[in-house]
Amino acid sequence: MKKAFKYRIVFCVLLFTVAWISVCGQAPVMSSKPINVSSVNSPDDDYWPTISADNHYFATTVSHRGESVYQATQEDLTIFEKDSVGNWKPDSVLTKPLNTPYNEGSPAFSADGRYLFFVAADRKDGLGSCDIYYVIRHGNRWSQPIHADAPLNTRFWESNPSLSADGRTLFFVSNRTGGKGGMDIWKCAVAVQSDGLLRFFNAENLGDSINTAKNEMSPFIHPDNETLYFSSNGHGGYGGNDIFVARKNQIGQWKQPVNLGNTINTPGDDTGFVVETGGRYGFFSTNGLEQNGKGREIYKVELPVEVRPRSVICFEGITTDAANKEPLRALVEVTDLSSGQKIQTLYADDVTGKFSVCYPVGKKYGLTVSAKPYLFESFELGDSSKNVKVALQKIAKGRKTTLRNVYFAFNSWQLQPESMPELKRLGRFLLEYPSVKILIEGHTDNVGTESYNMELSGKRAKAVVDFLMTGGIAADRVNFKGYGATRPLATNDTEQGRALNRRTEIEIE
The three-class DSSP label of residue 182 is: coil
**151 in the same domain as 291:** yes
> Which of 370, 394, 418 is the C-terminal boundary of a domain?
394
**73 in the same domain as 52:** yes
**389 in the same domain as 408:** no
pLDDT band at 167 (very low <50, low <70, confident <90, very high): very high
Looking at residue 32, its pLDDT comes to 58
Exposure string (b/e) for 259-283, b if CB count within 10 Å is 16 or more?
Answer: bbbbebbbbbbbbbbbbbbebebbb
**407 in the same domain as 374:** no
Alpha helices in 326-449 (DSSP H): 420-432
Looking at residue 467, its pLDDT comes to 97
**83 in the same domain as 9:** yes
The CATH code of the domain that includes 463 is 3.30.1330.60
Looking at residue 70, its pLDDT comes to 54
* CA neighbor of 221 nearest in space, from 207, 203, 206, 202: 206
> Which of 291, 307, 323 is the C-terminal boundary of a domain?
307
Show the domain range for 372.
Answer: 311-394
DSSP string, 110-124: -TTSSEEEEEEES-T
Residue 130 neighbours by CB under 8 Å, 6+ apart:
10, 11, 12, 119, 120, 121, 157, 158, 159
Residues 112-123 pLDDT 10s: 999 999 999 989
> Which of 250, 285, 307 is the C-terminal boundary of a domain?
307
Residue 507 neighbours by CB under 8 Å, 6+ apart:
398, 399, 400, 438, 439, 441
User: Domain count of the chain?
Assistant: 3
> Beta strand pairing status for 438-443 and 478-482?
parallel
Q: Is the pLDDT of residue 68 over 70?
A: no
- Higher pLDDT pick, 31 / 361: 361
Residues 27-47 pLDDT 10s: 333 335 799 999 999 999 999
The CATH code of the domain that includes 344 is 2.60.40.1120
**198 in the same domain as 63:** yes
pTM of the model as a whole: 0.89
* Rounded mean pLDDT, 192-200: 92
**454 in the same domain as 351:** no
**208 in the same domain as 123:** yes
**In three state form, how does the secondary structure of 49-91 look?**
EEECCCCCEEEEEEEEEEEECCEEEEEEEEEEEECCCCCEEEC
**361 in the same domain as 281:** no
**169 in the same domain as 65:** yes
Residues 115-152 pLDDT 10s: 999 999 989 999 999 999 999 999 999 999 999 999 99
